Structure 1
């Protein structure tokens, strides 16, 4: 048995020993021949709602289940928060190797990553002006690890490196580059594989399907769920979902699955830029969720150039919860500018363009312009804004498409990363081009409509004057 298959077999044996129930109708399979690592495949036909596997909560790699949570004060974990707490626990379990309950689990998890956190500078440069580059946060994470995690490890060195005579020395070494890299790897595993684990007795409001709101999800503890993270994800072929129960987490089929078919989870409607940032790969079927972000700073720049910038109006908009660091333009088919543009962006632009009297009237009432009512001036401003955003990319869409047509296969990792980055930026440029055209047409239509209404009003006024004269 080769090491890859041996690690899979040992992992499954450990999982079953931990109390997991795994359907005989599926198997953990080596899918490296299609570049998918491990995956779960149906060996027999599976019916809708049929149980695929059930994992006891005690098998989840979480802060609550780790012995470290019994040795370190609860206040320390509360200070670190869900993200850093789980990184700390995973470091502890990983470094304790065979002494850890999850040692065999770690052996089937990736040790090398293709997420943006691990890309070289020249590779990241191929993403050009994509907003995803600003979301990587490597320097911020480095500082957080040194400032928050390393001091905790030093303070509790004898616990963290139990039964080790060099515990203090090892704790001191945690600030060295190779250990900061290890922290990044633990963080990447969490980003790619961890679940927001709903408590056995949830105190949060959930809907009929068991989902908490987005704000409530942020406060949920995170956990690594063995076997659930062995499923690959697919936006179109998603056929399974994890359900939270009092003592277990159960993966069930969402639809009938035929023998030989792979079982897929779903990451949700993620644009390919975020798919790459979080999971290290992209697929064409996630292009339907692509977005391009318009930075707030660019809106300000265009407003200054158009002489409509107003600090006081921005402050009012901020009070109303409109201001953000960036605003999305999403893709849809057929393209609809009102559905694609962030409502906040439309409101921001229309507020800046309002005549003073109209702005003061709305402000007194605590109201804002309606995003579904875009003016000709608003469409024209947004058209200029999109053009300015396009110019932030060093190459245009036509250049990228020409160079893509002349490319052969990508044999090296760097070539594959360059090609992936190009796909991401091309997707964003396509959205911008379509938006530019739609806004130009809308600005023309709105201007024509406004001119017609003005003429009609003038004619009515003129007609009214003539009637009065005839009297």
Structure 2
């Protein structure tokens, strides 16, 4: 048995000793030949609703289950928040893995990462104008580690480096680059693998597809759920789902699974840019969720240069209605539709900024806003210009990118080539959305102008006929 399979076997044995119930119809399999690391595969046919495995909550790598929860004040963890708290605990267990209960689990977790946090500057340049580059947050994470996490490690050095006479010296060394890099790796494991540990009666606001927002999920405690996180994800072939119970977390089949098929979880409707940022890979199945984000700063800049009246008053009013965000999405749709793809908030903001003073004051007195389904000719022109401006943020055109048809990343490609290929597919998806939006807005503008010309001609004809009748009296 090779070392990779030995680690997998030891992990399953450990998990069973922890009280996990694992179906004999599944197995952990080496999928590195398809760039998928470890995955879970059916070895027998599985029926819908059949239990695949059940993990006791006590086996979850979490703050609650770590010895640190009994040694460090609760207020400290509350101050750190869910993310930094789990990074803190994982660093502790990792540094003490020779005695950690989760040592066999750490042995099957990846040590190399392909998420955007670890890309080189020239590789990130391949993403060109994509808004995902501003979401990586490496500098912000560095600051959090140095200003929030390291001080806690220093404060509890003797506990964190238990039994080490050099505990305080090691705590000071946590500011060094290699330790900050280790914190990033723990954070990346959480980003890619952790689950939100929902209590039995959790109340979350979810969208029409049943997914909670990132902000909603941020508030929940995080935990690493062994084996559940070994499932790869697929938007189309999702055939399993994790269910939260009082003592266990249970993975069940949500459709029949044929022997030999891989078992897939689902990340929800993530665009490929976020799939790359959070998990370090992309797949064509998530192209349907691609988005282009129009930054609010671009809207503000255009408005401030366009002679918009009562600009600050309008921004304040929009903010009161919760419409001011960092950016606004234009989503993929097939066929492309402004109604389906264009953020209604974006349309409302543009139309509000374009209101003359009297109309704005009238709506403000009523506490109302322009309706996004009643877009004006000028509003279409502004949005059309926004789309063109956003397209120009990319260093190449869609046509240029398409001259060399991208290929799916393979094991034969170098790491840099795979990263550049994935970046190219991401930016092509975004450029396709912008191209579709530009065409749709231009067509709508032509239709509006045509309708306005017809209405104007009809009004002129009616005025002429009225004049004739009056002269004929």
What interval of TM-score do these two structures reach, taking the shorter chain for normalisation? over 0.9
Using the alignment, how far apart are the partners of 1:181 and 1:306 within structure 2? Answer: 45
Cα distance between partner residues in 1 of 2:285 and 2:212: 26
Instruction: Name the structure 2 match of 1:355.
Output: 356
User: Could you tell which deviates more after superposition, 297-306 or 423-432?
Assistant: 297-306
Q: Secondary structure at the match of 1:122?
A: helix
Contact 2:211–2:268 (CA under 8 A) maintained in structure 1:
no
Q: 1:372 matched to which residue of 2? A: 373
1:448 paired residue number: 450
* Equivalent-residue separation in structure 1 for 2:254 and 2:199 (angstroms): 23
Cα shift readout 1:77-101 (whole Å, capped 9, x = no counterpart)? 0000001000000101111112111
TM-align CA RMSD: 2.2
Match of 1:18 in 2: 18
Counterparts of 1:37-116 in structure 2 under 5 Å?
37-116=37-116
Question: 2:169 corresponds to which residue?
Answer: 169
Q: Residues 433, 221 of structure 1: CA spacing in aligned structure 2 closer, same or farther, 3 A cutoff?
A: same
Instruction: Tell me whether 309-318 or 57-66 shows the greater mean CA deviation.
Output: 309-318
Instruction: Render the CA deviation track for 1:418-448: whole Å, top value 9, x for unaligned.
Output: 1111111111111101110110010111122
Separation (CA, whole Å) in 2 of partners of 1:315 and 1:136: 29
State the 1:303 CA deviation.
2.6
The corresponding residue for 1:233 is 233
| Corresponding residue of 2:184 | 184
> Which string of whole-angstrom CA distances, capped at 9 and with x for unpartnered residues, describes residues 250-308 of structure 1?
00001000000000000111000000000000011111110011111211233344433
> Which position in structure 1 is the counterpart of 2:440?
438
Asked whether the 8 Å contact 2:68–2:89 carries over to 1, the reply is yes
**What per-residue deviation string (whole Å, max 9, x for no partner) do you get for residues 168-188 of structure 1?**
111111111000000000000
**Is residue 237–residue 264 contact of structure 1 (8 Å, CA) maintained in 2?**
yes
Partner SS state of residue 373, structure 2: coil
Is the alpha carbon distance of 1:408 and 1:136 closer, same or farther for their aligned partners in structure 2, counting shifts above 3 Å? closer
Number of positions where the alignment pairs a residue of Structure 1 with one of Structure 2: 470
Task: Give the Cα–Cα distance (whole angstroms) in 2 for the partners of residues 196 and 407 of structure 1.
Answer: 31
Task: Note if contact 1:205-1:212 (Cα within 8 Å) is conserved in structure 2.
Answer: no
1:27/1:203 Cα in 2 relative to 1: closer, same or farther (>3 Å)?
closer
109-118 or 334-343: bigger deviation:
334-343
Cα distance 1:428–1:216, how it changes in 2: closer, same or farther (>3 A)?
A: closer
User: Aligned pair in 2 of structure 1 residues 356, 229: CA closer, same or farther (>3 Å)?
Assistant: same
Q: Which of 428, 431, 441 is the matching residue for 2:430? A: 428
Q: Offset of 1:217 from its aligned partner?
A: 2.9
Report the Cα offset of residue 407 of structure 1: 12
Cα gap change, 1:322/1:465 in structure 2, threshold over 3 Å: closer, same or farther? farther
Q: Structure 2: 5+ residue runs without aligned partners?
A: none
Partner of 1:27, secondary structure, is: strand
> Contact between 1:204 and 1:216, CA under 8 Å: does it hold in 2?
no
Distance across 2 between alignment mates of 1:244 and 1:415:
40
Q: 1:337 aligns to what?
A: 338
State the alpha-carbon separation in 1 of the partners of residues 414 and 156 from structure 2.
43
Deviations 1:390-411 (A, max 9, x none): 1111111111111447999872
Task: Name the structure 2 match of 1:389.
Answer: 390
| Whole-Å separation in 1 of the counterparts to 2:406 and 2:59 | 49
Rounded Cα–Cα distance in structure 1 between residues aligned with 2:305 and 2:454:
29
TM-score computed with the length of structure 1 as normaliser: 0.95
Cα drift, residue 206 of structure 1: 7.4
Residues 1:146 and 2:146 are matched in the alignment: yes
User: Residues 345 and 206 of structure 1: is their aligned pair in 2 closer, same or farther, counting only changes over 3 Å?
Assistant: closer
**1:296-348 per-position Cα deviation (integer Å, ceiling 9, x unaligned):** 12112333444337232122111211111111110010110121111111011
List per-residue Cα deviations over 1:234-263 (Å, max 9, x = no partner).
111000000001110000001000000000
Runs of 4+ in 1 over 6 A off after TM superposition: 209-212, 405-410, 468-471
The CA distance in 2 between the partners of 1:206 and 1:336, in whole Å, is 27
Note the alpha carbon deviations across 1:117-147, whole angstroms, 9 max, x for none. Answer: 0000011111111100000000110011000
Residue 327 of structure 1 aligns with which residue? Answer: 328
1:168/1:2 CA distance change after superposition, 3 Å:
same
Task: State whether residues 174 and 180 of structure 2, in contact with CA within 8 Å, keep that contact through their aligned partners in structure 1.
Answer: yes
CA distance in 2, matches of 1:93, 1:407: 37
After superposition, the Cα gap between the structure-2 partners of 1:271 and 1:212, relative to the gap in structure 1 and judged at 3 Å, is closer
Q: Which among 384, 391, 415 is matched to residue 413 of structure 1?
A: 415
Q: Say whether the 8 Å CA contact 1:376–1:444 is kept in structure 2.
A: no
Contact 2:205 2:216 in 1 (8 A): no
Question: What SS does structure 1 have at the residue aligned with 2:339?
Answer: helix
